[in-house]
Structure 1
Amino acid sequence: MPSSSLHSLKDFNTFGLARGCQQLVRVNTLDALIDTCCKLYQAQLLMLILGGGSNIVLCEDFMGTVVLVETKGIDIVEDDSYHYLTAAAGENWHDLVCFCLEQGFSGLENMALIPGTVGAAPIQNIGAYGVELNRFCDWVEYVDLSNGQLVRLSTDECEFGYRDSVFKNDLLGKTVITQVGFKLPKKWQPQLAYGPLREFDPKQVTPKQIFDCICETRRAKLPDPADYGNAGSFFKNPVIETALFESLTSSYPDMVGYPHGETHTKVAAGWLIDKAGLKGYQVGGAAVHTEQALVLINKGDATSDDVLTLAKSIVEKIKDKFGISLEAEPRMITATGERSL
């Protein structure tokens, strides 16, 4: 439990972990976001930027200032071929997807119900059901914390990869994303390669049908943080050499994998955890969700140590059984910053 002298972060992380911080600042304008973050950075004070708090594990109380980004605003322009959207960092991601559908803009529907904010989306290059953010991202704007200047990066300059970007590497800790630009084609092509979407006829399916199918699927598999605290998918789908995948399928013919480039295959981490018999596996108040093995949940009283011990145990068991190394997807936040699992 956080000390009584700390500001509670329990309501600001979807895992519902009872951690705190020394100072909590909520910003809802661009000027306040820039001013607050630059002053903290230039004074060399510890700072943690939070959007929806959906992709973090608070390992310890944070001994600095947490800045909650609550900026809002969506602007739209268009030409003959595209709709161009500019969305503020504090906008809710799923709400943006819904807004696009309501306006008749297609493309983001495969990423429905991904928790979090627009500003956090490029950092992870979020994705689901065969579509990643970089497919529709036009640019990302950030503030350079050393001088307060706004900088826009093109999609290529963001160096997007699988759950990766320049914001997790060269720009880590030096910038805060302020706005994201999206480029949605008016000539829509459905993406139906994954899961239940394969059942649709590409010539007849509508964006709304894809949206509804994904929402139904995710709600059936993924627990509502209001019921069980969680950070969504806890592990990245590992990318392994196709030769290893083919070797494993001789023992596990039902192993789920998708081609990833010419020589590698992306394996479903949830399948690995399920096959290892770990659904429902529990450490203290933390457990593997019984409906979706990729999700770790807080059953009501989980501590940070419960979650971390459970996650490390899963990594060890998957390595022992399959020879595959799992990597955590959420950010691990310590008292002074970020670390790996």
Structure 2
Amino acid sequence: MVTAPTTLRDIAQACGVSVSTVSRALANNPAIAKKTRESIQSLAKELDYRPNAQARALKSSRTDAIGVVIPSLINPFFAAMAAAIEDEANQAGYATIITSSGENTPKMEEAIEALRARQVDGILAVPHSDSAEMLEHVARSTPLLFVDRYIEGSNIPAVVSNSAPGLKAALQALAERGHRKVGYLAGPQTTSTGLERLKEFRSFSEELGLEYIIHHGGYLHEEGFLGTQKLLAQKPTAIIAGDSMMTFGALEALYREHVDIGKQIALVGFDDFVFMRIQPAPVSIIDQSVEEMGRIALRNLVASFGGKSPPQSAVVETRFIPRESIDFSP
């Protein structure tokens, strides 16, 4: 048999006090005597009292919920980001509603509108350029902060990584080992990360006097697999993958072609996940500190609630982690 949830009135009747006294005691208001507060709080716990979140939201015009829109729930980078955001939100007293856009403009718009219909207090979103106009409109009425990417020309703040330090250090490490021809698996040029990383790869390669070949792909395992096969036909001595999903694809392609990583070719990937470290030749990584990025984004969004200013932008620096996958010297 299902019993009705305990209410403030139930606790008030059991304690012989008013509902307002119970409410203030549960809020730990010092206007209520300490002994009375402790007695009411103890009884509330005994009766398994749970605050009515919906009623509280109506009273405060807040829902204590934050919306999160990421491109994919199966991409480990975005899954790790969402987990870090959720954990940080829980510590701050907020629930999270996490959804995915599939890098698809109509789906992005549906996800954003669904979150707004639930009256979330703010939204963290990984954007893509085709959604710029819609997102600008949303930001006029709902606190909105981009994470991982930004949109060129947009006024919406963003928490992003700076891939330049990690990418430059990776190319320098390859050049020091004698590599002169490097293949690059580029991300989609409709995203700030894809654009910036390709620009930096070209610039640093030219600065170091390296020949380079590029596969224009997307942030998908399949693109890393097919792109690596195409790059191998042009005989690079090293390959850099522009994100974690393409790194997984590159690994599969190299294993499929029986290319010995770290002995016949050098490989550099993105994002330091455990599966990168347990390969026969642990993969050298350009690490974006995705958990830190997610936590900073959540804190910056929450800090803007109730204020007149939008959330603050931030930049997280990347770092290069060399491992056995670049031991090969041509």
TM-score range, shorter chain: under 0.3
The structure richer in strand per residue is: 1
Which protein shows a greater Rg? 2
- Normalising by structure 2, report the TM-score: 0.28
More helix by percentage? 2
